[in-house]
Structure 1
């Protein structure tokens, strides 16, 4: 579990799924409920398969019925799902996606089911290996530039944590640890002059209260990356595009901001942030900006409106009529 994720141990939402060297389905399980004939038990399916033991049932009721319940309970290395309630006969499907508590065997159970479905008998229990077996197959991931799209455009915490932890493993040449990743990031921040007094780096997603940063440090990072030919193109491309995609699809739709604002959003219960660039016309460099707001609980809409107003002012400055 990434640092600080333990602050919400009873939160099963997929946004805080754990990370592991072998991960499947972003270390989440999805329950799909399909109605059958009225009065009959609904079909309850979990994906990936094999990892969840189901207790209880969901009943197919009359049209318009709604109220499916799902409670997940750790059961050793697996999960037990307690399901209940009713689903309308007219409903297509009802889906819930939840994180797993321990992902170490998630892929193993899914592999066991896949082998059995292929007609291969599998005996014994699924267990974690010792790591000393022969390599039977090797899979190379997509390039980092592609993986970053999930982080920059969609704020995917799982991808952020996996990439962050991998940094530690790649630089230290040993099994990945969050502490090694934090050390690697801190060293780079110091190299570009962006590590300021009071800054803290512990996890890769920024969830909970693990990290501390300043707006000036963020703009220093943005300037350093933009000036580095090896980083600029891929980094800017993975950011959300104002009025076009990702978390900014419905923001910055005004003419001079649309597609000219490239930024990463940040949202916590009591903090909101936006950092990125306002691109300028050909021959004019971008404006790097960072806005970090604390104390926004209950005022998220107003905070975003204030940030958007400020960034729109920068866009109008870059693109005068």
Structure 2
């Protein structure tokens, strides 16, 4: 009887302990729900802004650690993504080409090189390098000089056959201007196929402004019809680029005030291959390599001998320029390269888009669930959903072979790229890695953020048909990210102690 009494007493004590141990789990669940509920309420309040009263947006915020959505509104609806489409291009590029892929630029000759003299033509063949810029041109010319080479007795011929000759995307506007963001495409390109024009006031009122074109090559000429104006005089300075069939003319009209700071303009060029050849000639001269021949386009003969191969920086670095500064030219060059590498040269936009289709089919999407016509997002005919972007972000996040390079290419809120001046002063802003997207009446923001608890989220916000200013819309987006950064499933000072957290497998393993 005594033994039975002891057993009953022990059972009662164990039952009491079990009840007490269960309390932290119940409390934690309640606290979790409270933290999420507060977050959801704040997000819905932000989205109730009058700018969005027509429900012209879609949003999804998804926990990558827990596999659950905290916010989803019109997540399957198709929207114009603007440059958020570059998220897709970047993911496909990393998967198809790999983070360490390098673009090449090759030099050949159909003659012979002896004692520093090349008797024959020099061929330069481009393979789509989107960042073949001044520094890379210098490196290539110095490599050539060290062969050694001092004199070229022949012509310089540019081979751009690795891509097709479609310089612009058909889905873009029909009458492009000289804007740098609409630079033409080409397998042999230089400095993003743009020039910089600097305009400073002249020495006195009525004099011509001082103008510098960089790079200054034979490819560009200058027509300066502008005037230096008296301080306080209102007049517009107009800098334009005109196609002169084989070269470009930079025209400057209007006026700039005396004492005004130097103005800077970026303009695109019209003939990438000829532009690159002119730049090559200039830098050959700087390196002391003599050349008196002609510059023209052509194909490298099958019998030509390769002199050297210049390699670009790794793709992972090119992707930083693509995303942090939303470079359309880089995106489209990479898309054509993807097409060439997957389906063979010449690289075309259509081949690149086929690789994108293949990727999205692999994610379980059918053609009616999206519409992609370029690699940059400049076309207003593109359509993506927040859900599709989330699925891309999830897929990349789960692949350690590409995720580090992918996330490092995104803009860091308040730190760099196009978002350097957003959320400045917010200490935790560096825990948000994002891609922006902007067109007329369109604004988008997608990427990753880490909450105060250390939980990682993927998010996508697509907004169309906007009637508010870009600044106002961006502040709404930033507020959503701020709330995400401050999200705490377990609030500071809650009744859940560290010992209780250690007893709870739910708290210690967020994936459960």
TM-score using structure 1 length: 0.88
Cα 1:234/1:243, change in 2 over 3 Å: same
Q: Which has the higher contact order (CA 8 A, sep 6+)?
A: 2
Structure 1 residue runs without a partner (length 5+): none
2:268 aligned with 1:99 = yes
Counterparts of 1:85 and 1:254 in 2: how far apart (Å)?
40
Trace 1:171-190 onto structure 2 (pairs within 5 A): 171-190=342-361
1:127 alignment partner, SS class: strand
2:240 alignment partner, SS class: strand
2:369 alignment partner, SS class: coil
Q: For the Cα contact (< 8 Å) 1:279–1:318, is it kept in 2?
A: no
Q: Which moved more, 1:171-180 or 1:82-91?
A: 82-91
Alpha-carbon deviations, 1:193-245, whole Å to 9, x = none? Answer: 35563312221110022421111000000000001010111111111111222
Q: Which moved more, 1:202-211 or 1:85-94?
A: 85-94
1:73 alignment partner, SS class: strand
Structure with more of its chain in helix, by fraction: 2
Match of 1:301 in 2: 471
Match of 1:160 in 2: 331
Counterparts of 2:200 and 2:448 in 1: how far apart (Å)?
45
2:220 aligned with 1:52 = yes
Cα 1:269/1:90, change in 2 over 3 Å: same
Match of 1:237 in 2: 408
Counterparts of 2:452 and 2:171 in 1: how far apart (Å)?
42
Match of 1:142 in 2: 313
Match of 2:153 in 1: none
1:259 alignment partner, SS class: helix
Structure 2 residue runs without a partner (length 5+): 1-166, 493-512
Match of 1:310 in 2: 480
Match of 1:12 in 2: 178
Trace 1:27-176 onto structure 2 (pairs within 5 A): 27-38=193-204, 40-48=207-215, 49-60=217-228, 67-91=236-260, 93-116=262-285, 118=288, 120-124=290-294, 126-132=295-301, 133-176=304-347
Cα 1:119/1:146, change in 2 over 3 Å: closer
Counterparts of 2:314 and 2:297 in 1: how far apart (Å)?
28
Cα 1:181/1:36, change in 2 over 3 Å: same
Match of 1:201 in 2: 372
Counterparts of 1:255 and 1:303 in 2: how far apart (Å)?
18
TM-score using structure 2 length: 0.57
1:23 alignment partner, SS class: coil
1:197 alignment partner, SS class: helix
Match of 1:246 in 2: 417
2:453 aligned with 1:287 = no
Q: For the Cα contact (< 8 Å) 1:112–1:122, is it kept in 2?
A: no
Q: For the Cα contact (< 8 Å) 1:223–1:288, is it kept in 2?
A: yes
Cα 1:249/1:182, change in 2 over 3 Å: same
The structure with the larger Rg is 2
Q: Which moved more, 1:85-94 or 1:258-267?
A: 85-94
Trace 1:209-288 onto structure 2 (pairs within 5 A): 209-253=380-424, 255=426, 257-280=428-451, 284-288=454-458
Q: Note the C-alpha offset of 1:4.
A: 4.1
